[in-house]
Amino acid sequence: MGKINAIILGLAFAVLGVASPVPSSERPDENRIGDVIQRMESAFKAIEDYTCEVEQTFYQDGAEDQRYRFKFYFKKKKKIRVDFSSPYSALTIFYTEGDKEATVMPFRFLPALKFRFSIDNPRIKTLAGQRIDQTDMGHFIDFMSKNLNGVKQGEDEFYEDKERVKFLFWARDYIEDKTSEKYRISISKRHWLPIRIERYSLEDKPIESTEIKNYTINTHLEDKFFLP
């Protein structure tokens, strides 16, 4: 009788056009990722400035090639300062939104020595080709939102606990918006900002990984701190 009742109930839902409710743990990954991105967008709107420490690793043919460490400072509207600690222990880059050039100070202890470079100059791009104006978290959140709406997601991979959310995200590359790639992204629930971003080819070869830690939010960074 139980089986017959279940069949009858299923037919009734079909006739009425009513779908059975799906538990939140079984929702499609696209919806869950969309919820995360919305939280990130909302959190970022409340951020006036932030600081974080970054370790970025680049790979060549799947093997680790080069690694960079730096402290990243951001203030709306898009004022950026990057203080490198490795491999360039005294290098700082300054950028302000709308500028076509960035200022490079090769030695922080010699502030009078500075150079101006186009933001398209390969000398001040990352090894992957990322420009300085593409490095803040607002840009990354926009990238995620655009690709969630425009790129079909692949295999399911979504994990969540009290402190973080981790998921696999399919997107076109964030440099030229051409090549399809995979991103394994970890988001801290404390600030709803990324704490790890891993970038892979569709063949699962690592391209780069970025670890972000020690966020400080809204500490009222002064404008002069972003002036070379």
* pLDDT score, position 217: 98
Q: Tell whether domain 23-226 is in CATH 1.20.120.350.
A: no
pTM of the predicted structure, to 2 decimals = 0.84
Mind listing the pLDDT tens digit of every residue in the chain (228 residues)? 443 343 333 333 333 333 333 333 444 467 899 999 999 999 999 999 999 999 999 999 989 999 999 999 999 989 999 999 999 999 999 999 999 999 999 999 999 999 999 999 999 999 888 999 999 999 999 999 999 988 888 877 999 999 999 999 999 988 888 889 999 999 999 999 999 999 999 999 999 999 999 999 999 999 999 999
Dihedral sign computed on CA atoms, order 152, 186, 93, 227: positive
pLDDT of residue 19: 33
Q: What residue spans define the domains of the chain?
A: 23-226
What radius of gyration do the chain's Cα atoms show? 22
